[in-house]
Structure 1
Amino acid sequence: MKLKIMTSCLMVSALLLVGCTKKDEVKQDPIKEDKVEQKVTTSVELKHIFPLTGVGTNENVDQRAIAVMVNNHPKARPQSGLQKADIVYEILAEGDVTRFLAVFQSEFPERVGPVRSARDYYMELAKGLDSIYINHGHSPDAKALLDKGYVDALDGMEYDGILFKRDKERKAPHNSYISFEKIEKGAKDNGFKWDTPPKEFTFLSDKEIETIQGASGTFTTINYGSPSFEIEYEYDATIGKYKRHSKNQQTIDHDTNEPVLLDNIFIIEASHKVKDTAGRRDIDLHSGGKAILLQKGKWNEIQWENREGIITPVKDGKVVGLVPGKTWVNVIPSKPGLSKMVSIGDDL
């Protein structure tokens, strides 16, 4: 069924984004070369493909995925390390506040954070990717899972000042960081496996990318209910990637000023229910439902399914391939749903 998007909403969203791109443009340093050699997957000289990005490399791809809970409170911005994540899941925690699960496998920043507390539904996603889970604190349900060893985890409540370091420039709970050197140390000290990569996602070939069909949409907004958590994705045709903005500020790295640049934006509906007086939620990441996939400035209505613990884009029961590169997954409540929370349009 055709997604209903109000014209007035599209115009307002587009005007906001145009204003953002002109008035709030971020001056950035040149993007540094990745430490790992990365080229298109079709290059015959490359021996391997990173499982979560589909990007080719001659380096070893057997690194286990690391899934980090990253704070998205306005006082935690800009964050560190998000630009290196292969995939980021953005989901509501309490109230209108979203939180990130940033998954790293193909490359790693020097540090990531601010690290925030665990929720059970984020842990389910980390487990689906067989990740080592990094958190600082936990809800009661998440603690119960941690206590029984549901995932291999490093918790800042146990390792504060040992593996996790407080940034003096920020105040708690927005100042906990961890380096990947410390993650490796903590994993090895706890006997966690380190060389078990996740299953490979499905990716499009170069030829398939050239023939991507769909409705045109270079600007997309997602309204989570608060101006501080209104997200804007802008497709930049000159680089073939999406830029992310939050509250009219481009999402960049705190430490390097590198921008977050994305190849796939996957927006899904899921049932949300508030379950306690603190506003914590039950979020159904198992039943599947409606979704939107944005690639190369085009968008399509598809579905999502949970396949072996992984949120997977599908259409008519078949897996939809991703553009090789980085992916951001936005999970929104099925009520009010995509038609109310998402607006897509072109540059005005």
Structure 2
Amino acid sequence: MDGSSTIRRGFRVRRARRRSPTGPLLAALTVAALLAGCTVTGPDGDDERGRGDDGRRDDRVSAPPVGSVLAVKIDNVSAARPQTGIDAADIVYAEQVEGGLSRLMAVYATKFPESVGPVRSARESDLELLRQFDEPTLAFSGAQGKLLPLIDRAPLRAETPEDAERAYFRGDEKPVPHNLYLRPDRLIDSPPGADALTTGFRYGPAPVGGTPEDSRTVRYPAARFTFTWSEDSDRWQVSMDGTPTITTDDVRVAPATVVVQYVTIRESRFHDYLGNNTPYTETVGSGRAEVLRDGKAFEADWRRETPTNGTTFTTPDGTPMNFAEGQVWVVYAAAQ
């Protein structure tokens, strides 16, 4: 029995609820649906329900539009590592979640890896962040029950294991819930290309100045990211919680540019099953940032006017801030 059949069993009842059964069949399905709707939580407090309580979803975006990026929520607790496919992402966003832990969102436009994961649940902040793209596809394992209606109404194509059973599978090297993986080419036929990355980022030569930097650490209450400059690879080698980040394919994750973006991180309206509030990361607004590239740190200012805009970065004198060609990591840190 493969992993995909395991997922399939868990979602059959919720799909059956969209039909309109009558009589005894309705009663039987009602009981089954109530059982199936029970929250499945992982050790970091996620609510893994696939859709809303009424079993419906918004079908306005039924297929990925041309030029749609793929965004995948990636588990980032120690039990989920090593991860798969994050080295192939064009952009990796790091955000704070419940308990001071961290979670990743990997965005793919120029190439798809064979598989990505472990896939975990979405957060309210993701909806604002993803508005910069044209109806992106969001792959995630589920979400807090009260958040699901907001996801359904958002201008994106939401794909959980319930929606796209054949695109997901369970691996056998990690325990549930840290073993759910996505096959990207079963959601989108081919990568949309670099033009789909409507982030506002600019690429080109570094500005003048900058301060030589060997290593930079960004800390959350219960997690940390360290980026160490490698002269040999001209990249920033990533470590998370003190451990080098190496994929299941034995690739050291090493972006060309790292952005430490200082933002407001506030309480949201949602909580996990333990009652911990889910942080909301505000990505619309303005503030300061540090851009790491070419072994240097550059002071920068960031601005994002509206949710549908990308984020622009400039040097303190107003000159556009160029990133180095290659993968970009954006780590959201609390503004002081």
TM superposition shift of 1:231? 1.4
Q: Work out the CA distance in 2 between the residues paired with 1:118 and 1:213.
A: 39
Structure 2 equivalent of residue 294 of structure 1: 292
| Mean Cα deviation higher: 79-88 or 236-245 | 236-245
TM-score, length basis structure 1: 0.69
Q: Which has the larger radius of gyration?
A: 2
Determine which of 114, 117, 123 is the counterpart of 1:119. Answer: 123
Say yes or no: does 1:265 pair with 2:258: yes
Deviations 1:29-72 (A, max 9, x none): xxxxxxxxxxxxxxxxxxxxxxxxxxxxxxxxx75311110110
Partner SS state of residue 126, structure 2: helix
Which digits, 9 at most, give the CA deviation of each residue in 1:54-106, with x for residues without a partner?
xxxxxxxx753111101101100111001000010000111111111100111
Identity %: 23
The alignment status of 1:245 with 2:239, answered yes or no, reads: yes
Mapped partners of 2:97, 2:117: distance in 1: 17
Question: How far does residue 241 in structure 1 lie from its aligned partner after superposition?
Answer: 0.9
Contact 1:120 1:141 in 2 (8 A): no
Q: 1:116 to 1:309 in 2, by over 3 A?
A: farther
| Long gaps (5+) in structure 1 | 1-61, 188-192, 338-348
Shift of 1:326: 0.9
How many Å separate the matches in 1 of 2:293 and 2:192? 32
**1:122 Cα deviation (Å)?**
1.5
Residue 220 (structure 1) aligned with residue 216 (structure 2): yes
1:68-107 matches, within 5 Å, as 68-107=72-111
CA RMSD of the aligned region, Å?
2.4
Partner of residue 283 from structure 1, selected from 277, 281, 284: 281
Equivalent residue letter for 1:314: T
| 1:169 has 2:188 as partner | no
TM-score normalised per structure 2:
0.71
Q: How many residues align?
A: 261
State the partner residue of 1:33: none
| 3-state secondary structure, aligned to 1:111 | coil
Aligned residues of 1:123 and 1:142 also touching (Cα < 8 A): no
d(CA) in 1 for partners of 2:82, 2:179: 12
SS in 1 for 2:150: helix
1:225 Cα deviation from its structure 2 partner: 2.0
Residues 139/314 of structure 1: CA separation in 2 closer, same or farther (3 Å cut): farther
Aligned-pair distance for 1:249? 1.8
Give the gaps of 5 or more residues in structure 2: 1-65
* Compared CA separation, residues 194 and 258, structure 1 to 2 (3 A): closer
Match of 2:133 among 123, 129, 132: 129
Separation of aligned partners in 2, 1:329 and 1:200: 11
Q: How far 1:202 moved relative to its partner? A: 4.5
Give the 4+ runs in structure 1 shifted more than 4 A.
Answer: 193-196
Contact in 1 for aligned 2:236/2:255 (Cα 8 Å): yes
Q: 1:197 matched to which residue of 2? A: 196
Counterpart residue type for residue 197 of structure 1: A
SS in 2 for 1:261: coil
CA distance in 1 between partners of 2:199 and 2:94 (Å): 21
Partner in structure 1 of residue 331 of structure 2: 330
Deviation at 1:289, TM superposition (A): 0.9
Output the CA distance in 2 between the equivalents of 1:135 and 1:142.
Answer: 13
**1:274 to partner: Cα distance:** 2.3
CA contact (8 A) 2:99 2:276 kept: no
Letter in 1 for 2:155: Y
Is the Cα–Cα contact under 8 Å of residues 203 and 324 in structure 1 kept in the other structure? no
Between the aligned partners of 1:262 and 1:83, the Cα distance in structure 2 is: 8
